[in-house]
Each structure stands twice: as structure tokens, then as C-alpha cells.
Amino acid sequence: MTAKIIDGNALSTEVRGQLAERAAALTSVGITPCLAVILVGEDPASAVYVRNKVAACEKAGMISLRDVYAADVEPALVFARIAELNADPSVHGILVQLPLPKHFDSEAILESISPEKDVDGFHAENVGALMQGNPRFIPCTPYGVMKMLESAKVPLKGAEVVIVGRSNIVGKPMAMLLLAQSCTVTICHSQSRDLAFHTRRADILVAAVGRAKMITGDMIKPGATVIDVGINRTAEGKLCGDVDFETAKEVAGVITPVPGGVGPMTITMLLANTLEAAERSLK
């Protein structure tokens, strides 16, 4: 039997439809949700993501602003633009596309965004709120994963979860969200001894390492839920995840594909956070 596939595009369409209704309701009272996106440099993948985010905003009836800077821009210019966006009441969300060029202090940039407009949930204040169990903005990728688990009715209470990857943008917030749902959470990383020992115990396995096809079917417990957060490009330019889908789908009970899985849900939850920020501005 092959695994049930969670279709991230279909779920995105459904959720974005609901968001569009809320956006229209806000617009009718004079507030159109607005996301400002800042892109520094010419990385082609980043340009594609930013284009997708902007298009998704407009389709959901939200406004988007886009500022693109050359890779060698003075950071002071970007800080000044963020300050301007922080002060602009018509802007509800601000996203600085990562990664930034090496001469940027990324942490300082993220801390300069007003926590009330930090729709990525990367500001230390929002990270702290999530750890304390009172999230203000949930980082978009782990938020999207939670929606996917919910839509597939994957039981969470008491489940053994193994997350492979410990990044600030996926692994760590993912662990906090699943812990809050009473999962038993293990975080593995590049220095973990005997990775397969851990992954084979997982009822829910989240792969967020950035290494193409590194999770193979033999590393998965039969019937497990496998969430693939990886976005890797092969030499031929094909997109593939951290999970070897062909072998994994024969073992897993539920699985997410790449493309068409977590990626579209990340953008959907960015829209959700922007809308949420705009709704809060009413109160």
C-alpha cells in the first residue's frame, strides 16, 4: 500500500479562499492588508519566491510592496527603509527575504522589524512568545506543517516526533509547536549519532535539513507520517525534497510531496499572518 499524499496546493487553495474572504471584509471597513517584501541581491531562487509571495497577496485581495536592492547595497539604506515601513500605518507585515548577503548582520535586520509587523515570526520577541506558549506570529513554514497535520487528522497527543534539522526558521519553532500539542519531540542534526535509529522510532518525521533525498524508505517506521520541508535543486534544475519520495511512499502512511507540499503552505501562512496583523491593527 502506498502512502496517502497531503496535497499542499489543494489545501492552500482552500485556506487562501478563506483568507481572501477575511481580507475582503477588512477592505470593506477601509483596511486592506498590506505586506512589504524586501529582497537584497539577485539570487534567482529568492527572486522566484518573492514573486510568488507578491502574486499570492494580490490574488487574496491584499496589497504587496516590493523593494529590491543590489547585492552590494549599504545596509543603512535597508535599515532606513525598514524604519519607514515600521512607521507606516498602511503596512501590516514586513518580510526581509533570507538569506541576506554576507556583509549584512541578518540578526540586526530581523530585530529592526517591528514585532507587530514581523509576519515571519523571526524577531526575538516573537520567538520568545512562541517558546513561552503564547505565540504572536508563528513562523510560516512550521505553521503550514501544523495545518497539513490537522487537515490529514494526524494524531498528535503523545506521538513520537523526530525533527531532522535545528534551524531557527524551521526545526526549532516546529519543535515548540509540536511540543505544545503534547508530542514527544526529538531534534536531530548533523552531529546526531545513528540518525536512522531515531527516525525509525518516529510516528511523525519532519525532514528539514537541506540535503536532497537523504531520508530513505528504510529510515521510516511503517505507517509513519513524513513531512518534507526540503527544497533542493538537482543539477538539472529539478526541485526535490530531503525525502526520497519513491522509497518513502512505500513505507509511510502519510507523506507530503515536493513540489506541491510544504512550500505552497508556507506562502499561505504568510498571507494568514499578514491578515492577522491587519486585523489586530483594528483593535
Ligand X SMILES: Nc1nc(=O)c2c([nH]1)NC[C@@H]1CN(c3ccc(C(=O)N[C@@H](CCC(=O)O)C(=O)O)cc3)C=[N+]21
Contact 195, 220 (CB under 8 A): no
- In the annotation, is 228 catalytic? no
Select the residue interacting with ligand X from 23, 36, 40, 49 (CB under 6 A): 49
Q: Is 107 helix (H, G, I), strand (E, B) or coil?
A: helix
Query: How many chain residues are in contact with ligand X, going by CB under 6 A?
Result: 18
Residue 278 to residue 109: CA distance in whole angstroms: 22
Instruction: State the nearest-atom distance from the C-beta of 19 to Mg ion, in Å.
Output: 16
Cell of 201: 522510532
- In the annotation, is 181 catalytic? no
Considering the candidates 7, 97, 203, 244, report the single residue annotated as catalytic. 97
Q: Does 259 bind ligand X (CB under 6 A)?
A: yes
**Stretch in the footprint of ligand X (CB under 6 A) among 21-29, 126-134, 219-227, 264-272:** 264-272
Residue 164 to residue 229: CA distance in whole angstroms: 10
98 binds, among Mg ion, ligand X, none (CB under 5 to 8 A by kind): ligand X
Residue 181 to residue 184: CA distance in whole angstroms: 9
Binding mask 214-233 for ligand X (x = CB under 6 A): -----------------x--
Q: Does 141 bind Mg ion (CB under 5 A)?
A: yes
Q: Distance of CA 263 to CAs 7, 167, 249, 254, Å? A: 11, 17, 19, 17
Contact set with Mg ion (CB under 5 A): 140-141
Active site residues: 53, 97, 120
